[in-house]
């Protein structure tokens, strides 16, 4: 027995010492890089007391900056001056200066995105999967020059097969066709067979590849969550749908899948194209030659004012968080948000409460059915604070709610890929279409009012009246909020 303990100590003590040294180094890294003091303390304590477990977890889940992306984009600009200048000049020609109320909403997001609002756009809401993919496939079918396709999830089911065959058809017609997917989101995709068929047919296809480079091999906690389709630079699609039969409501577990996409025709399609171009360059180190002209710029001063807002873990500012905070703080009489996940950080949580306290009609719509149990549980922990401030919370009853939609007053509407949780705000590459237009906001209002008719109101009692084991599970889930 004593010999066994002696052998264990001789082997285990050096390993534990090495783990502690690595833990101290990790704590120093956390102090210098983790954005919040709460996060720093949490990681520091865990690393100090449980180093063998938490050191590898920290280097996978503790990173908040996606390494290499900014430098790679800088290299793209410096190495392809003519192509980059053509894109800049092309988009700038359609810039629509913001005036009066528009400026209040739009000036901040122009700074965050480094994109400009453009005029002369038409944006149509696409409600649910049938309308979305019917429109997307019709646009791809009509393409004459090129097709850009990017999704977080692609599954090799009936819908995935339909997309594959359509892309092969357009490639056979001589068009340039590009397909980009997230390797983690699409982990169930039979990548080799799916890709090989596409490549053999002339389609260029690649994964986003978050772990490129020796220093990035642990960047598995980041996702490219964007869903973008651009055809000939003239029309773009952005929203919540992925390529799977589930998004057509053909999943027995969820039934009806409530989601929203938008179709953008006009200069804002060029800005959306720019988002795809940057991601493609990261994945392939190839800057595509694309169309950067819609038509005579003087004809595009009317119509809807639109901006394509990319956010992600690559800048000096937390663009996702600041986008939401700006919208919440600008709201004067209405703020309606639909999101499948509600795990906001403290600044956004407080901003929502303050908006309600100053008389804004704040409504948050989340699903009744969970698809991720931890995120579903964590949302309960916010109910009492929201209820006390007057924030109205709703759970959608007719299937699963997956749309990412925001309506601010009668002036600003947003449809995109960003959820109201830490992952979307800080860890994911996201994109949203922002529309400053009263007609579009009326359409958005009508759509959301119909959704609210399929909701039940919830409040603090939905948490406080639950049994103790459930409330304990909720609090534990809340502790995991930074990595959900």
Q: Which of 67, 164, 182, 232 is catalytic?
A: 232
Which pairing describes strands 400-401 and 257-258: parallel, antiparallel, or unpaired? parallel
Q: Are 181 and 208 in contact (CB under 8 A)?
A: yes
* Residue from 164, 170, 241, 404 carrying the catalytic annotation: 404
The answer to whether the CB of 371 falls within 8 A of the CB of 395 is no
Q: Is 225 among the catalytic positions?
A: yes
232 catalytic, yes or no?
A: yes
Residue 260 structure tokens:
């929203």
Task: Give the β-pairing of 405-408 and 412-416.
Answer: antiparallel
Q: Which of 164, 225, 241, 392 is catalytic?
A: 225
Catalytic residue among 279, 402, 421, 451: 402
Cα gap 127→405, rounded to integer Å:
12
C-alpha dist (Å) from residue 387 to 261, 379, 419: 30, 13, 21
DSSP letter (8 states) at residue 296: -
Out of 128, 182, 387, 409, which one is annotated catalytic?
409
Which bin fits 370, alpha (ψ -120 to 50), beta or left (φ > 0)? beta
Name the active-site residue from 115, 164, 227, 392: 227
- Tell me which H or E stretch contains 265: strand 260-265
Residue 170 appears among annotated catalytic residues:
no
- In angstroms, the CA 200 to CA 363 distance is 49
Phi, psi (degrees; rounded to nearest 5) at 140:
-65, -40
| SS3 (DSSP) at 218 | coil
Task: Return the active site residues.
Answer: 225, 227, 232, 402, 404, 409
């Amino acid at each position: 027995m004593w010999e066994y303990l002696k052998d264990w100590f001789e082997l285990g003590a050096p390993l534990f010492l090495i783990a502690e040294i690595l833990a101290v180094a990790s704590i120093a890294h956390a102090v210098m890089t983790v954005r919040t003091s709460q996060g720093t303390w949490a990681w520091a304590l865990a690393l100090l007391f449980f180093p063998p477990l938490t050191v590898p977890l920290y280097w996978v889940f503790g990173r908040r900056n996606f390494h290499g992306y900014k430098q790679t984009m800088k290299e793209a600009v410096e190495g392809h001056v003519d192509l980059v200048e053509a894109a800049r000049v092309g988009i700038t020609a359609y810039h629509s200066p913001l005036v009066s109320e528009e400026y209040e909403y739009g000036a901040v997001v122009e700074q965050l995105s480094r994109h400009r609002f453009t005029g002369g756009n038409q944006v149509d809401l696409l409600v649910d999967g049938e309308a979305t993919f019917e429109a997307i496939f019709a646009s791809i079918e009509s393409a004459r020059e090129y097709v850009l396709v990017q999704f977080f999830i692609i599954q090799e089911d009936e819908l995935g097969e339909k997309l594959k065959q359509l892309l092969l058809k357009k490639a056979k017609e001589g068009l340039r066709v590009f397909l980009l997917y997230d390797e983690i989101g699409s982990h169930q995709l039979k990548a080799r067979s799916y890709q090989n068929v596409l490549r053999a047919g002339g389609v260029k296809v690649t994964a986003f590849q978050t772990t490129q480079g020796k220093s990035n091999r642990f960047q598995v906690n980041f996702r490219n969550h964007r869903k973008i389709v651009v055809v000939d630079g003239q029309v773009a699609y952005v929203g919540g749908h992925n390529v799977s039969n589930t998004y057509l409501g053909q999943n027995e577990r969820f039934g009806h899948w409530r989601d929203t996409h938008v179709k953008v025709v006009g200069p804002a399609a060029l800005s959306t194209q720019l988002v795809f171009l940057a991601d493609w360059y990261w994945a392939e180190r190839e800057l595509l030659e694309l169309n950067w002209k819609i038509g005579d710029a003087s004809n595009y001063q009317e119509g809807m004012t639109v901006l394509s807002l990319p956010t992600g873990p690559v800048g000096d500012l937390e663009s996702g968080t600041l986008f939401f905070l700006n919208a919440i703080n600008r709201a004067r009489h209405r703020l309606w948000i639909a999101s499948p996940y509600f795990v906001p950080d403290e600044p956004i949580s407080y901003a929502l409460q303050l908006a309600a306290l100053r008389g804004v009609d704040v409504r948050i719509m989340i699903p009744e059915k969970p698809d991720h149990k931890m995120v579903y549980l964590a949302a309960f922990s916010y109910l009492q604070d929201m209820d006390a401030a007057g924030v109205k919370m709703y759970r959608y009853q007719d299937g699963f709610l997956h749309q990412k939609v925001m309506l601010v007053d009668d002036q600003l509407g947003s449809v995109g890929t960003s959820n109201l949780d830490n992952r979307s705000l800080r860890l994911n590459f996201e994109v949203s279409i922002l529309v400053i237009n009263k007609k579009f906001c009326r359409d958005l209002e009508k759509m959301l009012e119909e959704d609210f008719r399929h909701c039940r109101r919830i409040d603090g009692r939905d948490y406080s009246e639950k049994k103790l084991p459930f409330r304990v599970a909720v609090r534990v889930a809340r502790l995991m909020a930074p990595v959900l």
